[in-house]
Amino acid sequence: KVILDAIKKLEKVHDIHMECYGKDNTDRLTGKHETAAYNVFKYGVADRGASIRIPRQCEIDQKGYLEDRRPAANCDPYDVTSIIAKTTILNDPYDLDELVEEFHAIE
């Protein structure tokens, strides 16, 4: 349940996260070759083509971790860790809901 709650939070701010997940992700995340497309958010158990992958053993044990497969090798790991923590653990202390609305208003 905790992992699924975190995934729902990540889905809500997918566009914002993608902005800090490295350069040229539109070229890398095509939906082919075990990736989800850049503008698509999906998750699954043992799904290497998903944005967020839940390892099979975590599903069996009902505890564990999730893998965010979106960040590129050229991302700033501190920025990525920070935005994931703000989104999933810190319960939106930085008004990500408001940031999402602003982001979509600009589009």
Q: 4 by DSSP, 3-state: which? A: helix
pTM: 0.78
Q: List per-residue pLDDT tens for the chain, 107 residues long.
A: 899 999 999 998 898 899 889 898 888 888 887 788 889 999 999 998 899 999 999 999 999 999 999 999 999 999 899 889 988 988 765 566 676 666 666 65
Chain position carrying tokens 């497969």: 69
For position 61, what pLDDT does the model report? 95
